Amino acid sequence: MTKQITDQLTSQIESGARPVGSYLPSERELANSLKVARNVVRGSYENLMKAGRIQSEGRKGRTVRSSGGKKRAGNAKGSKSGAGSKARKK
């Protein structure tokens, strides 16, 4: 079910039915309207965030990102930032 919701939202984003910058419904609102559990909607939103299609605006909600936008930079697995931190403490 998570994949179906992800695919449906992706189609809406690609078609322009959900324009860049528009807010998605809250997890609770979408889950209630689709009659599914909130964790199913949460999984779909997480998939879309990983794909760079939407972004979280904190408590404001989630918005559609531009198709050409890059994902936010973060610490990637295997980065050496932890080793650098330890070296500075000496």
Q: Between residues 74 and 7, which one has the greater pLDDT?
A: 7
- Residue 88 domain-assigned (yes or no): no
CATH number at residue 19: 1.10.10.10
Residue 29 lies in a domain: yes
Query: At 66, is the pLDDT very low, low, confident or very high (cuts 50, 70, 90)?
Result: confident
Residue 69 within any structural domain of the chain: no
Residue 1 pLDDT class (50, 70, 90 cuts): very high
Number of domains, the chain: 1
Whether residue 85 lies inside any domain: the answer is no
**Domain contains 35:** yes
Output the pTM of the full model.
Answer: 0.71
**Helices 38-50/27-34 angle, 10° precision:** 120
As a whole number of angstroms, the distance between CA 55 and CA 79 comes to 23
pLDDT of residue 90: 52
Sign, CA torsion 51/4/65/43: negative
Residue ranges making up the domain that contains 52: 2-64
